[in-house]
Structure 1
Amino acid sequence: MNRTATTRATRAHGWIVGARRPAAPSVRLFCLPYAGGGASAYAAWPALFPDDIDVCPVELPGRLTRWSENAFAQAEPLVQALATALEGELDVPYALFGHSMGALLAFELARALRGRGAAEPRVLFVSGGPAPQLPRRLPLIHDQPDDVVVARLRDLGAVPEDVYAEPELLELLMPTIRADFSVVETYTHRPEPPLGCPVVAFAGTQDREVPPDQVAPWHEQTTGGFTRHVLPGDHFFVHSARTALVDTVRAELDRPERKEQ
């Protein structure tokens, strides 16, 4: 992440980075970031999709274009705020993609929008995130000393290495990083009827954080069909295997039965 001010276009009250497509798209793809990440994680994605897919990187409070805002520390208020912000963007069919923390947020966002009477997403894409009903298997760190949090960040590879060489920058980032970890670590799954939309899940072959067997149980969260893709890479295969991942997302959105929903 970078504290440098940016003039990137934003919409949905700052929750989406980038201008709308000039013509009405066939689908909007909202992309939610992992813990410690921002909309910049998907900066290259719009150019990788055809013009009829409006790729919408989501910027959460507490980073980049939204440094002046406090990051959310719990999933429910964050999801409700995002659902409200996106109300004006649901004039066309939409899909949700989230990696790691973003997978959890995308899932809860789909349920929140359903609860508000909106259509479900055309597809819910969950990447590198354990199925939400599984018990947590990792220790809590959001309230641990800084050295513990930093060690965890290094293990995950969530923050560029050059950030660790700038203690002042790292200190500025810590509140948002802690808040993001808290979003995941304080989350409690509440059973609801399964989604009716298809769920497409991605896992990394070498992901020690969320191995493929933690991704498979996502099938319990949908009656609309489930597919799992295991791609080469560690927890951040979303970057290292981006071509294969994006190709799969694009193909799923282009399937005739998806367009008819």
Structure 2
Amino acid sequence: MNAPAIDARKWMPYPSAGGAPTTLYCLPHAGAGASTYLPWRKELQPDVDVVPLQPPGREMRMRDEPFENLTPLLNDLLAAMDGVWQEPFALFGHSLGALVAFELARRLSAGEGPRPAHLIVSGRRAPQHPSRLPWIRMADDPMLLEIVRRLGGTPDEILDDEQMRQTVLTLMRADLGVDQTYRYRPDPPLDVPITVLSGSTDSHVTMAELEPWAECGSAGVDIRLVPGGHFFVVTQRETVLRRVRHCLVGSP
């Protein structure tokens, strides 16, 4: 008996609106969900159709077990999206989402689906550099809570609520585990244009850690600094969206 097909709607809770000349599939940072990109949908229409992708373990997929390793996460995503990709399309990911988008682009370009027209990675050191965080799987909850607070992006009122805090820590332990168990493999560079965005004051990503992105693509790698820290995608959203629109449709 064949295994049941993975429902693409789980990964795409906010499906394509259609009508735009290009589609942008977006992957969230650690601990976040697809709704992070909902404001982008209205702001990038009619030029770009934003389709947020939803990994398990968050928002409407709260009951689904989150992945702790990248390979099964990608296997699940690729199986769900088989025959569903709306071309032409680009990939965007912030922080952990940038790593997922990069390896997704690699597998699509290797023949596991249609090749993306552009890859935009944000707030992430080059994949050649391993995580600088303490080993998450050995951290107790107080240590993990300290790490999550230091990373930012999670409101204090959530972390101060006992029940919500435990939910966040469970998800962050899995998501950060995806990052820390990842091992870069030196495959041929992607034949896809790559844009790298990074916060100018991001303490989690140094310029030295950004530079090896240049080795990851053979069709041009453009590294751009944006004012702000790690979550410049929130504080400088208009600037980021202008850059995204320029990458995909060439408008200023």
Q: What is the TM-score with the length of structure 2 in the denominator?
A: 0.92
Secondary structure at the residue paired with 1:88?
A: coil
1:13 paired residue number: 9
1:223-249 deviations in Å (ceiling 9; x for gaps): 000111101111111111111011000
Structure 2 counterparts to residues 243-258 of structure 1, below 5 A: 243-255=238-250
Matched to 1:102, the amino acid is G
2:43 paired residue number: 48
- The question of 1:169 aligning with 2:164 is answered yes
Secondary structure at the residue paired with 1:90?
A: coil
2:139 paired residue number: 144
The answer to whether the 8 A contact 1:46-1:54 is kept is yes
Once residues 122 and 29 of structure 1 are traced to their aligned partners in structure 2, the CA distance between those partners, rounded to angstroms, is 10
1:10-63 deviations in Å (ceiling 9; x for gaps): x8231123132243x322101101111111211200011122421011111000
Structure 2 counterparts to residues 74-223 of structure 1, below 5 A: 74-223=69-218
Once residues 131 and 33 of structure 2 are traced to their aligned partners in structure 1, the CA distance between those partners, rounded to angstroms, is 24
The answer to whether the 8 A contact 2:108-2:114 is kept is yes
Deviation at 1:209, TM superposition (A): 0.8
Deviation at 1:129, TM superposition (A): 0.6
Any stretches of 5+ residues in structure 1 without a counterpart?
A: 1-10, 257-261
Secondary structure at the residue paired with 2:196?
A: strand
**What value does the CA root-mean-square deviation take over the aligned residues?**
1.6
Percent identical: 37
The answer to whether the 8 A contact 1:100-1:128 is kept is yes
Once residues 39 and 136 of structure 1 are traced to their aligned partners in structure 2, the CA distance between those partners, rounded to angstroms, is 24
The answer to whether the 8 A contact 2:130-2:180 is kept is no
Query: Which stretch of the first structure deviates more once superposed, 61-70 or 209-218?
Result: 209-218
Matched to 2:206, the amino acid is P
Alignment counterpart, residue 60 of structure 1, candidates 46, 55, 62:
55
Alignment counterpart, residue 30 of structure 2, candidates 35, 51, 72:
35
Matched to 2:146, the amino acid is A
Secondary structure at the residue paired with 1:228?
A: strand
Once residues 112 and 15 of structure 2 are traced to their aligned partners in structure 1, the CA distance between those partners, rounded to angstroms, is 26
Matched to 1:204, the amino acid is G
Matched to 1:79, the amino acid is L
Any stretches of 5+ residues in structure 2 without a counterpart?
A: 1-6
* Count of residue pairs brought into register by the alignment: 245
Secondary structure at the residue paired with 1:97?
A: strand
Query: Which stretch of the first structure deviates more once superposed, 169-178 or 34-43?
Result: 169-178
Once residues 61 and 151 of structure 2 are traced to their aligned partners in structure 1, the CA distance between those partners, rounded to angstroms, is 24
Deviation at 1:214, TM superposition (A): 1.5
The answer to whether the 8 A contact 1:205-1:211 is kept is no
Deviation at 1:216, TM superposition (A): 2.2
Once residues 202 and 22 of structure 1 are traced to their aligned partners in structure 2, the CA distance between those partners, rounded to angstroms, is 27
The change in CA–CA distance for 1:120 and 1:22 in structure 2 (over 3 A counts) is closer
Deviation at 1:177, TM superposition (A): 1.2
